[in-house]
Amino acid sequence: MRVAMIGTGYVGLVSGACFADFGHEVTCVDKDKSKIDALERGVMPIFEPGLDALVASNVRAGRLKFTTELKPAVAEADAVFIAVGTPSRRGDGHADLSYVYDAAREIGAAVKGFTVIVTKSTVPVGTGDEVERIVAETRPDCECAVVSNPEFLREGAAIQDFKHPDRIVVGTDKPRAREVMTELYRPLYLNRSPILFTDRRTAELIKYAANAFLATKITFINEIADLAEKVGADVQEIARGIGLDNRIGSKFLHAGPGYGGSCFPKDTLALLKTGQDHEAPLRIVEAVVSVNDMRKRAMARKVSNALHGEVRGKTVALLGLTFKPNTDDMREAPSIPIITALQDMGAKVRAYDPEGMEQAKAYVSGVTFCKDAYDCAQGASALVIVTEWEQFRALDFARLKSTMERPVLVDLRNVYQADEVARHGFAYESVGRPRQN
């Protein structure tokens, strides 16, 4: 089938490349000429493991193209995906749908013959109705069906998630559109991936409900971690004990500095606004957002406590800046409020991240960026693991101790065991576990 993917951000580029790998003919469209030029040279705008090779192989095969020209790509397509950004609108937290609606107008003016228009972007309930209205207004004679097909891609594992999904959600009540979507995802039948067909509004809400629930699991275990510290319990054993219950499950029960990234923060806010607009307040989600916001900055106090409050003038070294490993995404990363809080306390901050340092420069200032973990630790009074990159899972503690001013490790991801670190002469602070000196 012929596919036009509007937007070459994270979702659009990964989805377009994977559809091409299924054998479809895909044209990715973006207004940013510099991004399109870079993609044609094989330069990826994001870091995602395996994406560069996937794009290159499908470009060579002639199944994947990039362009700034929307009209010809849409005119030839059987399905047009809207995969543009929906950031939080400044001031009120609503999802900014201006890019979605602009795309809908351009698509409506360009379509020829029956076309399925698919909202792949994360959008609030009712957005599909508005897209349908815009398209009909732009092109009254348009033979189009507007479908919701939310994405469930984890950054760092997006290709795996696309090709081996837990489920594929498609929101449409049009039989012809259902046929097109079934054919698009037909290669996944070999993996027995279930396709859940619903009405469009239900599909839109499934995405927000899923992200809000996962954010709730993270926030719940973080609050249990705080209690565990107070009473001398171990949150990792608690998580294992409750996660063995198959009604709960073990995923997203890892205590840490709070959730971040491009999805959970903005999607929980947008869901809250939707609830308020429809007089159905979501009190649990409200608490999740509030607790998570406070938690990130509170991690700087954990560093301060590890140094007995002696932070001013000290150097603190941060390992990991991105909101999770295997991505260069700095959006809403816990490292940002941690850095600003430490700087407010008078600390000097050094940092190292395998992929995110260039992006971090747009979010923080006054930070010394380093070439590796050991360079980062030079002269530091505390070393803080903020993101659990694999490179930080087997640190040479003797080498670290020889270069640090004080042997203090603050492990915000519980990568290490306390007794292991203590054997190397380090004071150790973790999350939700008894403190070791």
Amino acid, res. 208: Y
Catalytic residue among 18, 142, 144, 263: 263
Confirm if 133 and 114 have CB atoms less than 8 A apart. no
The rounded distance, in Å, linking the Cα atoms of 196 and 188 is: 13
What token pair was written down for 83? 């995969």
Cβ atoms of 348 and 314 within 8 Å: the answer is: yes
How would DSSP label each residue in 152-177?
A: -PPTTSHHHHHHS-S-EEEE---HHH
DSSP one-letter string for 7-73: --SHHHHHHHHHHHHTT-EEEEE-S-HHHHHHHHTT--SS--TTHHHHHHHHHHTTSEEEES-HHHH
Q: How many beta carbons lie within 10 A of that of residue 371, not counting itself?
A: 9
Known catalytic residue at 263: yes
Please say whether the beta carbons of 332 and 87 come within 8 A: no
Q: Cα Rg for the chain, rounded, in angstroms?
A: 24
First to last CA, the chain: 62
Q: Which of 43, 30, 12, 38 is closest to 73 using CA atoms? A: 30
Query: How is residue 232 written in tokens?
Result: 């001398």
* Parallel/antiparallel/unpaired status of strands 79-82 and 115-119: parallel
Number of neighbouring beta carbons within 10 Å of residue 406: 17
Contact predicate 261/323, CB 8 Å: yes
Residue type, 305: N
Q: Where are the alpha helices (DSSP H) in 244-332?
A: 264-277, 283-306
Q: How far is CA 373 from CA 240, 300, 340, in A?
A: 30, 19, 20
Report residue 287: phi and psi, to 5°. Answer: -65, -40
The secondary structure of 305-319 as a DSSP string is HHTTT--TT-EEEEE
Residue whose C-alpha is closest to residue 333's, from 276, 260, 410, 264? 260
Catalytic sites, residue numbers: 263
